[in-house]
Structure 1
Amino acid sequence: MIRTIAAIGAMVALVASCTAVSGSDPSEGYAPIPGSITYGGQPRTKLTKAPIGSSFPHTFTDQTGRTVEEIYIIQPDRTLLIAQRHYRPFFAWDRNQ
């Protein structure tokens, strides 16, 4: 019984530390990296026809040669927010990257 309680306590602490590590507000999105649409500032052209809250993907190769896919969300002021970033593996059998 004591071991079960200790194991549950350890799992709760582990999950709490994983969520606390991010340290940023999800509404802020990810910081742009070279190749991102928003790297160097927001695009000059406003997306006037796209509905607010809609999302779209952008795929590019970063400086290290990895393929990156970012998902952008259009904000109410027509700026772009990077909502997700995924790095694709170098090799098909390398799924853990």
Structure 2
Amino acid sequence: MKIAVVALVIVASLCGCAAGITTYRFSPQLEPIPGSITYGGQPRTKLTKAPVGSIVPHQFRDQFGRPVYETYVIEPDRSLRLVSRRWRAFDVFSDD
């Protein structure tokens, strides 16, 4: 019984550490949302000067006002592939 209680306390404390940020990394189902660079299709301009495999960061606010951080990778055909998205928890006391 004591082991179960200790395990529950450890799991609860680990969950509390990551409560501020929700991360979806390298998911094949990661779809653009309103505000994403690729929402509604690829951008019209081609990234000709950036090398293939370069990382392109993008930051915006979602429809609820939460900061969203996305990461894109430049593909060989110069399109952008969304590889990571993180939400920062809405902080009532923040000046952002």
Displacement of 1:91: 1.6
Determine the structure 2 residue equivalent to 1:18: none
Counterpart secondary structure, 1:42: coil
Query: Where does the alignment leave 5 or more consecutive residues of structure 2 unmatched?
Result: 1-25
TM-score (norm 2): 0.64
Assess if the C-alpha contact under 8 Å between 1:71 and 1:82 holds in 2.
Answer: yes
Measured at CA, do residues 65 and 51 of structure 1 come closer, stay the same or move farther in structure 2, by a change above 3 Å? Answer: same
Name the CA distance, whole Å, in 1 between partners of 2:64 and 2:92. Answer: 17
Map 1:1-97 to 2 at 5 A: 26=26, 28=28, 30-91=30-91
Name the CA distance, whole Å, in 2 between partners of 1:80 and 1:70. Answer: 12
Query: Where does the alignment leave 5 or more consecutive residues of structure 1 unmatched?
Result: 1-25
Q: Higher helix fraction: Structure 1 or Structure 2?
A: 1
% identity of equivalent residues: 60
Runs (4+) of structure 1 exceeding 4 A deviation are: 26-29
What is the number of equivalent residue pairs in this alignment?
68
Higher relative contact order (CA 8 A, sep 6+): 2
Structure 2: which amino acid aligns with 1:71? Answer: T
Displacement of 1:63: 0.7
Q: Higher strand fraction: Structure 1 or Structure 2?
A: 2
Give the root-mean-square deviation of aligned CA atoms.
1.9
